[in-house]
Amino acid sequence: MLGFVLVSSLIVLGCAASTVGKRLIIDTDLFSDVDDAGALLLAATSPLVELLAVNVNYPSTYSALAASAILAHYGRTNTPIGIRRPLTNVTFFDSWFFELGEYTSKVAYHWSGGSLQWGHAEDAWDPVALYRKVLSEAPDDSVTIASIGFFDNLSALLNSSPDIYSPLPGPDLIAAKVLELVIMGGEYPSGYEYNFWGGDPSLAAHVVNTWKGSPITFSGFEIGENVTSGLRLINEGPRDDPVKAAYIYYGYNTARPSFDPLTVLYAIEGLGDLFEFGVEYGYNHVEQNGSNTWVYDKEVTSQRFLRLKLSEDRTGAEVDRRLLEATLSSQRNRSFTREEL
């Protein structure tokens, strides 16, 4: 009974948080790096965010189950989760450096819960159906999509046809509903970065080169590589926090680059104190092999890339502070809920 009451109170808190704020969808490759988990922690606990959906673009069952476990821990049990098919039971193994550990299956198992119960990744949404449902139900020009992994789901959304959710084909649905697409990927003004080449690079090219109807903001490799974070979460975070555990399993008590947390902070809060635009005209071009180049075309003003406003050290300290504050605020709410009873 206590359990039941607790759960209902959490749902009430979750709803209170979700009646205001930024409508956000996260498309994540929660699998081979832990910064996706840090990004989910920030989004799931932000009072500014209505987290409409999380789509996973890496097809491991454990990625979907870990996303569910993490969202549930922070009270976002109503956020639907999609994952790219066909599913596999593959787990991460660091065969490059033997330095990094696997976290998705462990987080999924130890924190099992939420909309996808342990062993039931097949219950996750088809990501394109989930995009189309959530976009069609949202007010016009209101949804921010943060892409912090590969491009399979977004490419398939672009290719999608009218269905039970919307009479609009993918590109028109995007133009009607999406406020901004924020992409962690590429290097600026040019380079060769993992999120563009590490999956199917032609899909990254498809999304970046053909996306229309909403601005795109790029968060490049260069802004996150030397902004390290995670140590305060590891050292000062609550014992029962799944994202703290993920950072420990993955990096063995070391700080990690902050690509995805930075991207999600921008997606939630805009430029704020941390970011400025490196350029406000031109567009990104992605080659079939995943390399990218900024084209400085003054006629195009719908794309830009980010630069840091502060030093890398100060930015890293801020990301660390935000990760810790995120988990502590969620912990405070849980114990507050318990005391209220």
Ligand X SMILES: *[C@@H]1O[C@H](CO)[C@@H](O)[C@H](O)[C@H]1NC(C)=O
Contact 30, 37 (CB under 8 A): yes
Binding status of residue 333 toward ligand X by CB under 6 A = yes
Binding status of residue 128 toward ligand X by CB under 6 A = yes
Contact 261, 42 (CB under 8 A): yes
Find, among 335, 100, 336, the residue nearest to 240 by Cα. 335
Name the one range near ligand X by CB under 6 A: 92-100, 164-172, 248-256, 287-295. Answer: 287-295
Find, among 41, 56, 29, 178, the residue nearest to 128 by Cα. 56
φ, ψ dihedrals at 26, nearest 5° = -110, 130
φ, ψ dihedrals at 324, nearest 5° = -65, -45
Binding status of residue 156 toward ligand X by CB under 6 A = yes
Cα 135 from Cα 80, distance rounded (Å): 13
The three-state secondary structure class of 90 is coil
Helix axes 61-73, 242-251, angle to 10 degrees: 140
Binding status of residue 134 toward ligand X by CB under 6 A = no
Instruction: State the nearest-atom distance from the C-beta of 56 to ligand X, in Å.
Output: 10
Instruction: State the nearest-atom distance from the C-beta of 38 to ligand X, in Å.
Output: 15
Binding status of residue 16 toward ligand X by CB under 6 A = yes
Draw the binding track, 213-232, toward ligand X (x: CB under 6 A; -: no contact).
Answer: ---------x--xx------
Residue list 174-193, contact with ligand X (CB under 6 A)? 192
Residue 229's DSSP bridge partners are 256
Token duo for residue 278: 């490196």
Among 105, 153, 214, 263, binds ligand X (CB under 6 A): 153
- Paired sense of beta strands 275-279 and 303-308, if any: antiparallel
Q: Select 47 or 167, whichever has its Cβ closest to ligand X.
A: 47
Binding status of residue 321 toward ligand X by CB under 6 A = no
Q: Select 193 or 318, whichever has its Cβ closest to ligand X.
A: 193
Instruction: State the nearest-atom distance from the C-beta of 301 to ligand X, in Å.
Output: 26
Q: Which residues here bind ligand X, judged by CB under 6 A?
A: 13, 16-17, 45, 47, 61, 74-75, 84-85, 87-89, 126-128, 152-153, 155-156, 192, 203, 222, 225-226, 287, 289, 291, 329-330, 333
